[in-house]
Amino acid sequence: MTMETYPIEIEFPDLAPYAEGNTGIPYVYTYDSGAPGPHTMINALTHGNEVSGAIAVKALLDAGVRPRRGRLTLSFANIDAYLSFDPKRPDASRFVDQDFNRVWMPATLDDMTLDSSELRRARAMRPLLDKVDFLLDLHSMHERSAPLTVSGPLQKGIAMARQLGVPEHIISDEGHPEGRRMRDYGQFGDPSKPHTALLVESGQHWEAAGVEVARNCCARFLLLCGNVDAGDIPAGWLKPHPPSQKVIRVTEPVVASGTDFRFAGEYTGLETFADAGTVIGWDGDTPVRTPYPNCVLVMPSLRQLRAGVTVVRLGQLLD
């Protein structure tokens, strides 16, 4: 699989003016309406090179968007990784020491013998996250692909993704073998609790269209949660709904055993293979085959290739 070099179409904004925050946690802001309603959080920069979400969150702060009901938290998560961004090595600033989106297991967060830049940041944000009812975590993808909502395995996540109405494709998955995502942390991952988190992949990391996707998802999320009215949304943010949505259930990840993994084609995501047993790649000398008919590839990429990394997920279209 040839590694395409994607142009950086959008400017990485200066976030220094937002460093102080207003919560005691740098780069994190919370606003309380004083009226009943949910505590809703929109988070950007779970990965340091995923800039579209940061642009959207910065715009919400700059526009003075405030909740009419409930509370609203706006945050920039892995700021250290973001500050390390180098356009000559744009994939290198995904994280500093370890993936921030793989550390959200209570046992890991509680174990103070473990230390990393990302663990320190997660521990700082954790007490606030414990109080959040609804989370929108803004991401983007290594490869140029259609936007996705990654809803998680629970029915409440799929239901909220459908209510959000965008993007067109909803991915229901169990997460990563490497570790738990923030989307699945605590009450978000408890099927008996109403607390729900969605992760939106806005498109390729640096394509301008991803900013429009992130803004639209932010606007629709705040309206869905009831924190704001339509007139509070910045002009031009709301985009039309797709004609319908499709839910793809991930059945299994493909995890590389080492650095000798290659795909059989130039895959970027949502490719569908009619026949079971189709070879889609090789892990060393071992062929990787589709396990069932009409298998869908979800977010294939070799840009972070190493032993233990999920290089693609395999899914079935539910509807």
Q: What is the pLDDT of residue 77?
A: 98
pLDDT band at 106 (very low <50, low <70, confident <90, very high): very high
Going along the chain from its start, the domains and CATH numbers come out as 16-232 (3.40.630.10), 249-317 (2.40.50)
CA-nearest of 222, 192, 311 to 260 is 311
Is pLDDT above 70 for 271?
Answer: yes
Q: For residue range 187-236, what is the model confidence (pLDDT) as tens digits?
A: 999 999 999 999 999 999 999 999 999 999 999 999 999 999 999 999 99
pLDDT band at 176 (very low <50, low <70, confident <90, very high): confident
CA-nearest of 76, 48, 45 to 61 is 76
Q: Quick one: average pLDDT of 99-121?
A: 97
Per-chain mean pLDDT for the chain? 96
By mean pLDDT, which of 42-46, 143-147, 220-224 is the weakest? 143-147
Is pLDDT above 90 for 238?
Answer: yes
Percent of the chain at pLDDT exceeding 90: 93
Q: For residue range 156-171, what is the model confidence (pLDDT) as tens digits?
A: 999 999 999 999 999 9
Is pLDDT above 80 for 7?
Answer: yes
pLDDT band at 1 (very low <50, low <70, confident <90, very high): very low
pLDDT band at 319 (very low <50, low <70, confident <90, very high): low
| Backbone Cα Rg of the chain | 19
Q: What is the pLDDT of residue 2?
A: 56
Q: What is the pLDDT of residue 304?
A: 86
